[in-house]
Amino acid sequence: QVQLVGSGGGLVQPGGSLRLSCAASGSSFSIYAMGWYRQAPGKQRELVARISSGGNTNYGSTNYADSVRGRFTIPRDNARNTVYLQMNSLKPEDTAVYYCNARFGPTVNHWGKGTLVTVSS
């Protein structure tokens, strides 16, 4: 069992940057594929970015939603049991609650509590 704690949300102006963190408790963090999802008011939750386990390295393969590709990155630090979401060039449409996710195989799926990101002037 792994527990996920997301942090780093807040209010930022358009064009600004923010870094979200997701700290995982428990062992074997490196085996999980990690992801960030978001849910804006009145919309369904959507995938923002995902990074594969990468084995014993921090360099898993990544994929991004078209809307954030080139602006967001999802590095992971297995030694710290943490995955990040670095968000640059933020836009008002990035406003949402962001959720961290850990997945292993078809049946293991953990969610963290969300952290709110508001992009507004």
Quote the pLDDT of residue 25. 93
Query: For residues 58 and 56, what is the distance between their CA atoms, to the nearest angstrom?
Result: 7
Q: What is the pLDDT of residue 89?
A: 98
Q: What pLDDT, on a 0 to 100 scale, did the predictor assign at position 98?
A: 98
Residue 57 confidence (pLDDT)? 76
β-strand 10-12 against 115-119: which pairing, if any?
A: parallel
Residue 111: both structure tokens together: 């969610």
Amino acid 59: pLDDT: 80
Stated as kind and residue range, the H or E segment containing 115 is strand 115-119
What is the mean predicted confidence (pLDDT) over 100-108?
Answer: 93
17: its two tokens: 């940057």
Q: How far are the Cα atoms of 1, 31, 42 from residue 85, in angstroms, in the given order? A: 23, 19, 23
Question: Which tens digits make up the pLDDT trace of 10-37?
Answer: 999 999 999 999 999 987 899 999 999 9
**Separation CA 111–CA 74 (nearest Å):** 16
Question: In the chain, pLDDT over 70 holds for what percent of residues?
Answer: 100
Helix (H, G, I), strand (E, B) or coil at 31: helix
pLDDT band at 55 (very low <50, low <70, confident <90, very high): confident
